[in-house]
Chain A
Amino acid sequence: MKEEIISLIAEVLEIPKDTINEKTNLIKDLDVESLDLVDLVAAFEEKYNIEILDKDIKNLQTVNDIIKYIESKNV
């Protein structure tokens, strides 16, 4: 799951996979802007067939936050 999520983040943001780890903060470390963040959220929704509410996006700051959030959806 962890590797899969990191691969998807790298693919959507078009950055090398080895620049991302669990502690990476999307906004502070990768300068991800809101449209890229929403594009990423939409990619997770499609891949895992889940719904991510816009009000939850502010809590998805690090890669670890994303992993925990997706796991909490019982994927």
Chain B
Amino acid sequence: MYKLYLEKNITSKDLLEKILKENNIHDRIIYNEYGKPYLKNNAIYFNISHSGIYTALVIADTEVGIDIEKIQMPKNALLHVCTEEERKLINNAEDFTLMWVKKESYVKYLGIGISYGLKNVDTIKIKDFIIKKVGNYYVSIYGKNLK
């Protein structure tokens, strides 16, 4: 089970505070060694991402990662981020951004972040990303058995 909250012009901190309050959750935020935030006393998982005007927050009953990104093709990042097989599938900014948000949501699900190694996330083999397109932005959510 998961719920996505997507709002414009709000900081990550403010959106989290607002949604926790709305859900009547009063808890402390703790962080793992890589900086992923968790609730101290609730068996509820969350993850936050910010890009441009949007902040995206996902709440789930299992480990979860989220990433939102404005559709773009950076000048240099392609070789660093994508495997040779993945690069064959990228023809434009939409393809690149979709692959990027998948990789980011996966490393954030793991709780390790970029340190895991972006090329180690094989977006051809890994399935079950939940993808949403909002205007000029892609959102990817990753978790096991999310519905």
Segment at the interface with B among A17-25, A49-57, A67-75: A49-57
Is B114 a contact of A38 with CB atoms below 8 Å? yes
Residues of A near B75 (CB, < 8 A) are 12, 39, 43
Q: Which residues of B contact A41 (CB under 8 A)?
A: 80
Q: Which residue of A lies closest to B113 (CB)?
A: A58
| Contacting residues, chain A, for B50 (C-beta < 8 A) | 33
Residue of A nearest to B96 (CB): A35
Helix, strand, loop or mixed for chain A's interface? helix
Smallest CB gap from B118: residue in A: A54
Q: How far is the CB of B68 from chain A (nearest CB, A)?
A: 10
Name which residue of chain B comes closest to A59, CB basis.
Answer: B115
- Please tell me which one of the listed residues A38, A53, A55, A57 contacts residue B77 in the complex, with CB atoms under 8 A apart: A38
- Chain A: how many interface residues by the 8 Å CB criterion? 19
Asked whether A38 lies within 8 Å of B117 as measured between CB atoms, the reply is no
Say yes or no: B116 contacts A34, CB within 8 Å.
no
Which B residues lie within 8 Å of A40 (CB)?
A: 76
B115 touches which of A33, A42, A46, A55 (Cβ 8 Å): A55
Flag whether B1 is at the interface (Cβ < 8 A).
no
Q: In the complex, which of the residues B50, B75, B76, B116 has the most CB atoms of chain A within 10 Å of its own CB atom?
A: B76
Could you tell me which residues of chain B, from 96 to 147, have a CB within 8 Å of some CB in chain A? 100, 104, 113-119
**CA of A12 to CA of B74 in the docked complex: distance in angstroms?**
9
Q: Is the CB of B115 within 8 A of A58?
A: yes
Most interface-central of A35, A53, A57 (chain B CB within 10 A)? A35
**Who on chain B is nearest to A36 by CB?**
B74
Q: How far is the CA of A54 from the CA of B54 in the complex (A)?
A: 26
Closest residue of chain A to B80, judged by CB?
Answer: A42
A45 to B119 Cα, complex, angstroms: 15
List, in ascending order, chain B residues with CB within 8 A of A57's CB.
114-115
A-side residues, CB < 8 A to B, are 12, 33-36, 38-43, 45-46, 52-55, 57-58
The contact sample of 17 A-B pairs, CB cut-off 8 A, is: A34-B114, A35-B72, A35-B74, A35-B77, A38-B81, A41-B80, A42-B76, A42-B78, A45-B80, A46-B79, A54-B114, A54-B117, A54-B119, A55-B117, A57-B114, A58-B113, A58-B114
